[in-house]
């Protein structure tokens, strides 16, 4: 493995007020962070100067009447760059380059004396962000009521989607404009027939879209470990997606203890659909393999019976399969 790591003091782009900006290694993708009025964390994403995600809010709502959504101030912002080449245990290629610029925004909520950090990693084909909760006296054990990560779209994109079913992904994909998801939902549900949906505009990740001017956008998540799976709920008036986590039996979205962090919320963007399939952004954001010796792992083919039919499995690479996570890198 080849690895280079460089901490830099000045990687931020100066922006007005309390905003901070960061670009990918080649400058293709850029991310801005800003505390909006009321101390609300927001971000936006651009590709070659073209808006991809409009200013979108970040934050979490906790059970017990409290929240981590507003009233923040920036304590510190630090940046770094990272470049390595690593070997996956299995996959289409023998070596993967992991090259990104990173920005860590440390936030403090004065009224509660709680701390929450937001970490951004920006690649030439997209970005990832996650919430981090350091060990602290004022936030030890907490329960998530909702995660309010938003993705504000720049237009009525064409999307390839399946319904946001909390129990299955076995649907046929529907191609439609974002504004048509609500009207096409009943038809989409009929392709499986046993829905456990949470919204008439809720869709599952990963979500693939295409803009009118030819950009391909994919919304997903990475490093899903000890956290609820993320779906997306669309406000079809504003064309803003918001994260929707799988609930447990009592409706809670997660029981956490600091120090901890969320999975990565990812945005891939490119001007060639083939680059979405070729992207290694999700694998790069997964945690490195924890096994010291992987020589005994031999990818093979399994043929079995499922639902009365025969299917074959050549590889398992889905970041949703938590038990396989340790083998993904």
What pLDDT is recorded for position 308? 59
Q: Which helix (H) or strand (E) segment is 145 a member of? A: strand 141-147
CATH of 2-155+213-298, one of 2.70.98.10, 2.60.40.1080, 3.40.30.10, 2.60.40.10: 2.70.98.10
Tokens of 200: 């008439």
Q: Which residues of 261-279 are buried (b: 16+ CB within 10 A; e: fewer)?
A: bbbbbbbbbbeeeeebeeb
- Could you tell me the end-to-end alpha-carbon distance of the chain, in angstroms, rounded to an integer? 12
Average pLDDT estimate for 205-221 = 97
Helices (H), 133-249: 181-189
Q: Would the pLDDT of 27 be above 70? A: yes
* Confidence label for 32 from pLDDT (cuts 50, 70 and 90): very high
Return contacts of 270-275, CB within 8 angstroms, 24+ apart.
Answer: 270/47, 270/125, 270/126, 270/215, 270/216, 271/47, 271/214, 271/215, 271/216, 272/216, 273/210, 273/216, 275/125, 275/216
What pLDDT is recorded for position 195? 86
Q: Are 139 and 155 in contact (CB under 8 A)?
A: no
Closest-CA residue to 327 (of 301, 281, 303, 293): 293
Tokens of 276: 């979405």
What pLDDT is recorded for position 122? 98
Give 76's contacts (C-beta < 8 A, 6+ positions apart).
106
Q: For residue 126, is it left (φ>0), alpha (ψ between -120 and 50) or beta?
A: left
Between these two residues, 194 and 208, which has the higher pLDDT value?
A: 208
Give 60's contacts (C-beta < 8 A, 6+ positions apart).
67, 68, 69, 116, 131, 144, 146, 147, 148
Q: Would the pLDDT of 17 be above 80? A: no
* Confidence label for 326 from pLDDT (cuts 50, 70 and 90): very low
Q: Which helix (H) or strand (E) segment is 281 a member of? A: helix 281-285
Q: Are 162 and 297 in contact (CB under 8 A)?
A: no
Return contacts of 115-119, CB within 8 angstroms, 24+ apart.
Answer: 115/75, 115/139, 116/60, 116/68, 116/72, 118/33, 118/41, 118/43, 118/58, 119/261
Q: What are phi and psi of 193, to 5 degrees?
A: 95, 0
Average pLDDT estimate for 15-44 = 90
Q: What ranges do the domains of the chain cover?
A: 2-155+213-298
User: Rounded to two decimals, what is the model's pTM?
Assistant: 0.87
Give Rg (Cα) of the chain. 20
Question: What does the pLDDT look like over 74-102, one tens digit per residue?
Answer: 999 999 999 999 999 888 899 999 999 99
Question: What does the pLDDT look like over 268-285, one tens digit per residue?
Answer: 999 999 999 999 999 999
Q: Would the pLDDT of 204 be above 90? A: yes
Please say whether the dihedral angle defined by the alpha carbons of residues 137, 138, 144 and 150, taken in this order, is positive or negative. Answer: negative
């Amino acid at each position: 493995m080849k690895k280079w790591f460089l901490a830099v003091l000045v990687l931020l782009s100066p922006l007005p007020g309390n905003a901070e900006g960061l670009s990918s290694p080649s400058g293709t993708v850029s991310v801005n962070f800003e505390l909006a009025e009321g101390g609300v964390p927001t971000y936006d994403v651009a590709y070659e100067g073209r808006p991809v995600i409009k200013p979108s809010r970040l934050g979490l709502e906790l059970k017990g009447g409290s929240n981590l959504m507003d009233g923040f101030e920036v304590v510190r912002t630090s940046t770094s760059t990272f470049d390595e080449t690593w070997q996956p245990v299995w996959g289409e290629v023998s070596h993967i380059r992991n090259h990104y610029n990173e920005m860590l925004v440390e936030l403090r909520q004065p009224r509660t004396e709680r701390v929450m950090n937001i970490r951004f990693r920006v690649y030439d084909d997209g970005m990832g962000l996650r919430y981090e909760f350091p060990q602290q006296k004022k936030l030890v054990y907490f329960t998530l009521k909702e995660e309010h990560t938003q993705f504000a779209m720049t237009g009525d994109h064409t999307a390839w989607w399946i319904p946001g079913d909390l129990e299955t992904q076995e649907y046929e994909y529907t191609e439609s404009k974002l504004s048509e998801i609500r009207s096409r939902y009943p038809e989409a549900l009929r392709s499986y027939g046993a829905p456990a949906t949470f919204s008439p505009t809720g869709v599952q990740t990963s979500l693939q879209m295409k803009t009118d001017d030819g950009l391909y956008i994919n919304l997903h998540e990475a490093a899903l470990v000890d956290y609820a799976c993320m779906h997306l709920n669309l406000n079809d008036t504003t064309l803003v997606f918001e994260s929707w986590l799988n609930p447990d039996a009592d409706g809670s979205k997660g029981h956490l203890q600091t120090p901890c962090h969320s999975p990565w919320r990812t945005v891939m963007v490119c001007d060639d659909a083939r680059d979405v399939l070729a992207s290694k952004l999700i694998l790069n954001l997964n945690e490195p393999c924890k096994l010291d010796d992987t020589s005994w792992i031999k990818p093979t083919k399994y043929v079995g019976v499922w639902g009365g039919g025969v299917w074959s499995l050549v590889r398992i690479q889905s970041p949703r399969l938590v038990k396989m996570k340790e083998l993904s890198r």
